[in-house]
Amino acid sequence: MRSRRGSTLALLTGLLAAGCLTAAQPAAAANAGCGTTYGFASDETFFTGANLGATSAPGELAACRKVQIFDDRVPTGTRVYQVIYRSENEAGTAIPVSGTVLVPPTGGTGIISLASGTIGLADKIGNTKSCAPSVGLPDGGAFVSGTAARYLTAGYAVAVTDYEGLRTPGAHPYLNGWSAGKSMIDVARAARNLPYESLGGDTKTLFTGYSQGGHATLWAAQLAPYYAPTLPVAGAVAGASPVNLEAVRQNLNGALASGLYSYMITSLNGQFPELNLLSKLSSSGQSFMNALATKCSPIMASNITGWFRTWSSLWKTGQDPINDPAFVARASQSNVPGWGPQVPVFMFHGDNDGIIPIGPHKALADAWIAADLPVEWRTVPGSHLWDTNANGQDASDTWIADRFSE
């Protein structure tokens, strides 16, 4: 175990020096806008017009506004802030990322950095709304709204990243762990920087997410000691995490949620244009991709353009990129790394998940447990839908409270 930790430290220290990770203590946030309450804000210029300006460290606020919330599941008096904060992409380049911070009336006994499950790639296109969680959170319509309400009721502040490229400039790099992990870490730092709240100092952060959010959570938990060494981290809870993307690809072939694979293709093409993936699509595949580009639910898009899509129907004859070593190498870069967390991690998965296979997720947990790392695994009843997420939350509530009390 010691040599493994040593090699991990050497690897991440090298990445830090190369610019892929930037360790920085967030400076004081600008006050502009945080104290003014707006109505339900649909104005996109707040998001698209923001720039990093005078920010100099990850988590600093570039813009902030307080908005009303219309979700009767959250405690009365909950304060909601939409924020633009400084983060980094995979290469270490500074980028603006948007998010939402919800603070319970009590002020928050800790920060839950909550990452959404798959919400889509669509951004503001004509009359199409962005898929970003911040669109739906003020009125309780986001995928994570129920989960956020649960944690607010328990007394925690909740910080939800929109991920890179949703509601802010650029494309969303779906399941890019470097980007997603940093976005999760930095929205917690942004919450700590809110000028009218008291979430700094020794206030602890816990990362959590389900599906795509579970993937981001495992990246954040492993990156945090190197990317944000001064951030007090209580732990992480990851549900139904797609830790091996090739296993997900195989599992989705001909499945109801085949749109998830198409998100992966679109994202990889944007990140690595040299793969030239879109030119290899069949006409049917191109139509499928175009439909997905304007929808925020992969299952909804599958319903519109055909259920249970097979990969052979997406590609021109002989053009399936799975046989291209360059594609395989790029896709595998988003797999959850096996470095091992330095903070406590609770991992769970449904016993009947037909979308994200349980095997690779449990194998990773088993390897970490065998290495005597602070990891706990739980198989819970359910499929990939919200039954499993709710069961996993039920199983982890006490565990979370214990981590914050340590």
pLDDT, one tens digit per residue, over 140-195 is: 988 899 999 999 999 999 999 999 999 888 889 999 999 999 999 999 999 999 99
Looking at residue 1, its pLDDT comes to: 37
- Distance, CA of 120 to CA of 263 (rounded, Å): 7
Question: For residue 207, what is the enclosing H or E element?
Answer: strand 205-210
Using DSSP, state whether 66 is helix, strand or coil.
Answer: strand
Q: Are 331 and 222 in contact (CB under 8 A)?
A: no
- Distance, CA of 118 to CA of 120 (rounded, Å): 6
Query: Which two three-digit tokens encode residue 47?
Result: 């998001």
- Check: CATH 3.40.30.10 for 2-243+336-405? no
Flag whether pLDDT at 121 surpasses 70: yes
| Residue in 224, 182, 198, 183 with CA at minimum distance from that of residue 110 | 198
More confident residue, 244 or 303: 244
More confident residue, 133 or 47: 133
Q: Is the dihedral of CA 311, 314, 317, 321 positive or negative?
A: negative
Flag whether pLDDT at 379 surpasses 80: yes
| Residue in 288, 299, 285 with CA at minimum distance from that of residue 257 | 299
Question: For residue 259, what is the enclosing H or E element?
Answer: helix 259-271
More confident residue, 114 or 139: 114
For residue 6, name the pLDDT band (cuts at 50, 70, 90): very low
- Distance, CA of 258 to CA of 262 (rounded, Å): 7
- Distance, CA of 96 to CA of 89 (rounded, Å): 9
Task: Calculate mean pLDDT across residues 60-77.
Answer: 93
Q: State percent of the chain over pLDDT 70.
A: 85
C-alpha torsion angle, residues 97, 98, 104, 107 (rounded to 10): 40
Using DSSP, state whether 37 is helix, strand or coil.
Answer: strand
Query: Which two three-digit tokens encode residue 263?
Result: 């998100």
- Distance, CA of 153 to CA of 78 (rounded, Å): 10
